[in-house]
Amino acid sequence: MKRHLPLAVLVPLLVGAPSLPAQDVTLPEYTMEQRWNRLATLMVGWEAAVVALGESHGMGPGEVGTWIGEFFSQDWLGGAEAVQLLRGMNRNFTAMPDATVEVLASTPTSVTARFNRPIDARLGAGGRVVSVPGESILRMLTALESTIAEWVGVDLERRVDGDHDVLTLRTRYGPIQASDGIRWARGAYLSWIARLQLLSLRKESGLTATQIGEADAELYAPSWTAQTPWQLFRGMVWNQMTDPNTDCEVLSASPTEVRARCREHYRELVTANQSRFNVTSEDVFESGRAFAMGVADHLGLRWVESLEGGYRMITVTK
């Protein structure tokens, strides 16, 4: 049975110790190498903790690794070639300062590499991290790697070579699969590129960003049915939700007024493509504001919008 200190005992322990003047307390400074090594040691500790947590829920190390692999697979696009997976594994593996990876052989469809085991140097007495054997951590990591390899479409074989692991990866050429998160982000990116292309073409025809937004409002406003400020704001946000980075916060709302702020999440993407399309984030803002104002006017509502500190400040009234 777990025992806990009564709160009446614990509180004096927390508040009863005498405080020291700040000038009497000095903290050590660490080199980047010391920090990196400490981070690596803590990383192994967290790996052990995850294995222990899984075991407390009836999961073996392999099952824990499979679950983690399925979780992280969401960031990988399927259909990778063997060398692409190896480069990704190498990038993650070299988070450990003493990690080494040596490519032993390669062909256009396969690659064999030898990995050392930097985890061994961070095991405690009896080859354990607290109560978790190092072998359990390795079984978890092996299952994790196999799960990701299966997701991206690469065959993975592993053999032990002394205190190293030799991995052979073979390209399977499929299936090409992606998580909903990757699909959503890709769809949003392509949607933005199409929008920037269209804005560019219309600017070349002589229209300003405001005129573009006004023309769009004239075209689409008749299809809007919002009757209250909230319905209009909700509809505008709904259209923006094609982008997973959309982030709006309602500051206040009533039947006659809505005040909100939305992060200007598109600025980095627009700026990165400005030289291609000659469209600025200000163009995007102005055209979007003109569109919202035009739709609101058609519905007998009022839309006021300004930029403040990276946020679009919005007020919709009846």
| CATH number assigned to the domain comprising residue 312 | 3.30.1380
How confident is the model at residue 24, as a pLDDT? Answer: 82
- 271 domain-assigned: yes
Number of domains in the chain: 2
pLDDT band at 18 (very low <50, low <70, confident <90, very high): low
**Cα–Cα distance list, 234 to 123, 167, 227, 260, 284 (Å):** 54, 52, 11, 11, 20
Domain encompassing residue 202: 180-317
Across residues 52-79, what is the average pLDDT?
A: 95
Burial of 10 (0-12, 13-18, 19+ CB in 10 A): exposed
Which residue among 143, 171, 199 closes a domain?
171
- 26 domain-assigned: no
For residue 135, give the H/E element and its range. Answer: helix 134-152
The CA distance from 191 to 197, in Å, is 10
- 113 domain-assigned: yes
For residues 289-309, one letter each, b for 16 or more C-beta atoms within 10 angstroms of the residue's C-beta and e for the rest, the string is bbbbbbbbeebebebebeeee
Q: What are phi and psi of 257, to 5 degrees?
A: -155, 140
The dihedral over CA atoms of 180, 185, 188, 193, expressed in degrees to the nearest 10, equals -140
How confident is the model at residue 175, as a pLDDT? Answer: 87
How confident is the model at residue 212, as a pLDDT? Answer: 98
The residue assigned the tokens 């200000």 is: 282
- CA-closest candidate to residue 148, choices 208, 227, 93: 93
pLDDT in tens, 108-144: 999 999 999 999 999 999 999 999 999 999 999 999 9
How confident is the model at residue 16, as a pLDDT? Answer: 55
Query: 191 — alpha (psi -120 to 50), left (phi > 0) or beta?
Result: alpha
Query: Residues 161, 211: one domain?
Result: no
- 19 domain-assigned: no
Q: What are phi and psi of 126, to 5 degrees?
A: 70, 15
The CA distance from 97 to 44, in Å, is 13
Query: Residues 210, 93: one domain?
Result: no
For residue 41, give the H/E element and its range. Answer: helix 32-56
- 137 domain-assigned: yes
Q: In the structure encoding, which two tokens stand for residue 227, read together?
A: 């009757």
pLDDT band at 10 (very low <50, low <70, confident <90, very high): very low
CB 290 within 8 A of CB 214: yes
Q: What are phi and psi of 104, to 5 degrees?
A: -95, -35
Which residue among 171, 201, 223 closes a domain?
171
